[in-house]
Amino acid sequence: MLRNLTCPKCNHEMDEGSISESTRLNYASNKLTRPFVGKFVPLAAARACPACGYVELYLDPQRLTQVLGQ
């Protein structure tokens, strides 16, 4: 799923990891109308740059497409 391992901010090699289950971060599109129940997409993967601290977060794009009804 993740391909580019170079930091987009400083070009350092990035470290791949995951979101801690204790934090449970979810994404909700601005295209959705409330209530958001059942429409949140959990974040599935993360990558961090050891040099500058930049963090990227990823979700399941198929799940987002389902939620958006596309």
Site track for Zn ion across 5-44, x = CB under 5 A: --x-xx-x--------------------------------
Least distance (Å) between residue 32 CB and Zn ion = 32
Closer to Zn ion at the Cβ: 10 or 32? 10
Beta-bridge partners for 6: 13
For 34, other C-beta atoms within 10 Å of its C-beta total 7
Q: Identify the burial level of 11 via C-beta atoms within 10 angstroms of its C-beta, where 0-12 means exposed, 13-18 middle and 19 or more buried.
A: exposed
Amino acid of residue 18: S
| Interacting span for Zn ion (CB under 5 A) from 17-25, 26-34, 50-58, 60-68 | 50-58
